Structures are given as C-alpha cells and as structure tokens.
Amino acid sequence: MSKTAPDPQRVREASLEELHRLRLPLPPPDFPLVWEPGDQVELRAGGEIEARAACLNVVLSRALGMPPELAVQWLAESRLVDHLTPPEWQFVAEGQGDERSFALHLEALFALSWLLGIALDLDPMRPCALDALQERLPNLAQGESFDAWRRRTLAAPRDAIASAEQLDLYYCLDWSLRRLPAPGPIDLNAVGQRRWALEWAVMFAGPYHGAPPRWEQVDLST
C-alpha cells in the first residue's frame, strides 16, 4: 500500500545529523534527494522480499561451501529458480563467477532481513553477525523448506516510510565512505550492499521515477 513519502528535506537533515555524529564528511548542498515532495512510497510485497532473501541465502551458502546439487534441489523444491538473476544461477549451479563478490551479499541479506522485521536494526557502525543472521534464515543444512521458514519467522515487513528514511541515510553514507573510511568495523562494501537492498525494496512513484528496478538493475553509481 503506497503512502505519501515524508518530507525529503527533513529526512535528509536527519541523515546529515547522523553523519555528523559519526564524524564523516557531509555531502554537498546540491547532493540529490532520493525523492521529491509529494512522491508516493511503498515497500515491495513481503513475499517478494522473502523470495529475494531466500535466494541470497542460497547464494551465500554456496560461497561458504554448500554443494551445487543441494542448492539447486532446494531452489527447485521451493519454486525459486526463476527468482535468481542469471549471474546468481551460474554461480549456484555451475560455480561460475567471483566467489568473494557473492560472499559480500551477506550485508544485503542483512538489510533484507531488517526490511522483513526479522533483524532488529541497521546500525551503520555494526556489521552483520553471520551466525545470528543464519538463525533467522532458512536452515539449509537441515533441509528446512521455504514455506516452513516463512511459517517459522512470520515476517512483519517494515513501514515504507521508515524504510525510505533508512535508504536516504545509506545513500548519504555511501557518498561519505567513498571519501573517508568509517571510524568503525563497517566499510564501504557493507554500506553499498545494504543500500542495494534498500534501493531495490523501497519503491517510489512520482514525476521523476521510472519502474522499480530488478535486482540486477539497481544503480549505485551516484
């Protein structure tokens, strides 16, 4: 369900205050807003976010050593094969691609889990704890099905406005960390991965917005 997006300037001021608190450089005054006054915002459907999280969980598990046969079988039984991007499928099924780059999706998966309400916060100075996150995701080692995981977690997706506010913060953080490393354990790659998930999941409608991007179409160049 779409809502009127919050005042983008007010949200930006809050994002800049957070950067100041973290002693990070602030974007220039002409740094673009993520949305305009009067735009509408909504979150992708919970089932779509769950499917993307489940797929990334399999991708990450493959990077950590899960056999391809088991990964493909789980995806097929869960009817999720078509939800993978072509590079993800090539990596999961055939081992093609840079394993290290796929392992970086841990932080994107963490952001998706936050959007689903099964991770508590997205503190920019706190990296994802793999063990704690895996407890909230499908237990592939024990053969937990996609449907069984959904019943176990009972996801409660975040409010679209709160999600948009997080997106603006990570949009600013991404700019900042390209210029000065963070004073903590999180790095530019982690922030970029979280922003990727937020950019994909938070959808805007207005004069300057096109169709929501597919996962592989998300633009992080700005």
Whether 59 and 116 share a structural domain: yes
- CA 89 to chain centroid: 19
Q: Which two tokens stand for residue 52?
A: 């993307």
Of 85, 34, 78, 37, the C-alpha closest to 59 is 85
Of 74, 61, 182, the C-alpha closest to 133 is 61
Choosing from 153, 168, 198, the residue where a domain stops is 153
Residues spanned by the domain of 50: 46-153
pTM of the predicted model as reported, rounded to 2 decimal places: 0.95
Residue 222 included in any domain: no
Whether 175 and 116 share a structural domain: no
Identify the sign of the CA torsion 93, 137, 168, 3: positive
Query: Residue 198, by phi and psi: left (phi above 0), alpha (psi -120 to 50) or beta?
Result: alpha
What does the pLDDT read at residue 160?
97
Choosing from 122, 153, 184, the residue where a domain stops is 153
What does the pLDDT read at residue 180?
79
> Would you list the DSSP string of 23-78?
T-PPPPTTPPPSS-TT-EEEEPPHHHHHHHHHHHHHHHHHHTT--HHHHHHHHHHT
Identify how many contiguous H helices and E strands the chain contains and give both numbers: 10, 3
What does the pLDDT read at residue 183?
66
Whether 58 and 136 share a structural domain: yes
**Ranges in the chain, pLDDT < 50:** none
Whether 126 and 175 share a structural domain: no
Whether 65 and 90 share a structural domain: yes
Write the pLDDT tens digit of every residue in 158-183.
999 999 999 999 999 999 999 877 66
Whether 7 and 103 share a structural domain: no
